[in-house]
Each structure stands twice: as C-alpha cells, then as structure tokens.
Amino acid sequence: MSVAGGPKWRRRKEARPGEIVAAAFAVFAEKGFAAARLDEIAARAGVSKGALYLYFETKEELFHAVVRDAVAPNVAQVRAAAEAFEGPFADLVRALLPMMAARIAGSGAAKVVKMVIGESRNFPALAQHWHDEVVAPTLSVLSGLIERAQARGEVRPGDPRVHAFSLVGPLMLGVLWREVLEPVGGAPVDLQALAAQHVETALGGLLAREGAAA
C-alpha cells in the first residue's frame, strides 16, 4: 500500500538470511516443525515465499539453520565460564546454575528444547546435532568438574554423570514447566528462586560432609 512511490521491495542479499532465520525461529517455536507454514515465515520476514528458496533448499534445512543459530553462542559461554573457574566446587555450582537458568530463560533456548523434543522422531538428524553440539559437551564439562571435585574429596563418590543429572534435572524440569504448563494454567515457576534453593539442596547431598566418617 505504499502509495507514495517507494519501491515495492529492495535488494538486500546480505540481510535476508538472518531475518528469515529469525522469523522461522519464531514460527517454529510457536507451532513446531510440521505445523509451521512457510507462508507465515515469509510474511514475518517481510518477504515472499519464493524468496525463502533463494537462501534455503528446503523447509528442513531452514529448521537446521534455526537450531544452529539460536543455540551455539550460549553453550560456548557457559562452557568457558565453567572451565575458567578456579574456586571450590560449591562456589562454582552456586554461580553456574543460576547462570544457566538465566541464559536458558532469556534466550529462546527453552523453545528450541521443546521443538527438538517434539520433532526428534521425525528429524533424528536434528536431535543428533543437538546432542553432539549442545547436550553432550555441556554434560561432559559438568561431569568432568564433578569428577575432579571427587578426586579432591569435595564431592561424595558416585557416577559423576548421575550427579550431573541430579544438578541440572530440576532446572530443566522448571524450564519445561514454564514452556508447556504455565500457558495452560500451571502455577508460575520462578526459575531463579528454583535454581537458588535447588543448588543448596543438591550441594547438601553432593558435598562430602566435613564431620562425617566416610
């Protein structure tokens, strides 16, 4: 409706891909892969459906691009923070969990998680990418930290991977709760409060007791 002779569209080869991925992210997060409509993605990106195919071969490739872009930076940062830390295990955990909570809640990572879970059967390649690039590295950093803390006698014995689950499981549950149940009437969850209280609970179970025998 631009009556005042502005051009109908502009050539912006550089900017398009990013805008398209952003729009696709929003629609995929809202609807899931199968129910997302290319027309809607195109509309939100301010572009025609045909233009999508100038930059992405198929809907599925677009899906992959979305997951890549939305997630990579956060993982790297959490990893760096964890590996740079030098103090006692308890302090590290007290810093790390709230950081993860904030990062997951802040970015759209939670929506991506939901998306990956929902479409994992239909797009195993996506779930695999997610596992290889996000979950496995994070878990490996975490259980490495736990293992070293065990060697120093700070943390009780036990499978370090299971200990890692004990640490982050409740956080993940909280994230999914917010994403899935709150919109349909579930009682709100304060992720920061959850992280704070759970860290103390988990540490109570993980740390070797000072006055204890074993």
Please, where are the H alpha helices in the chain? 16-31, 38-44, 49-55, 59-84, 89-106, 109-119, 124-130, 136-151, 160-176, 191-206
Shortest CB 31 distance to DNA, Å: 9
Shortest CB 81 distance to DNA, Å: 38
Place of tokens 């950093």: 141
Nearer to DNA, 40 or 133 (CB): 40
Nearer to its own copies, 50 or 211 (CB): 211
Binding at 176: pick from DNA, its own copies, none (beta carbon under 5-8 Å per type): its own copies
Shortest CB 7 distance to DNA, Å: 3
Shortest CB 104 distance to its own copies, Å: 13
Q: Which residues bind to DNA, rule: CB under 7 A?
A: 7-13, 16, 36-39, 42, 46-51, 53-54, 58-60
Binding at 121: pick from DNA, its own copies, none (beta carbon under 5-8 Å per type): its own copies
Nearer to its own copies, 82 or 174 (CB): 174
| Residues contacting residue 117 through CB under 8 Å, at least 6 positions apart | none
CB 33 within 8 A of CB 123: yes
Six-digit token pair at 125?
């390649």
Conformation bin of residue 185: beta by default, left when phi > 0, alpha when psi is -120 to 50:
left
Place of tokens 């809607």: 40
Binding at 75: pick from DNA, its own copies, none (beta carbon under 5-8 Å per type): none
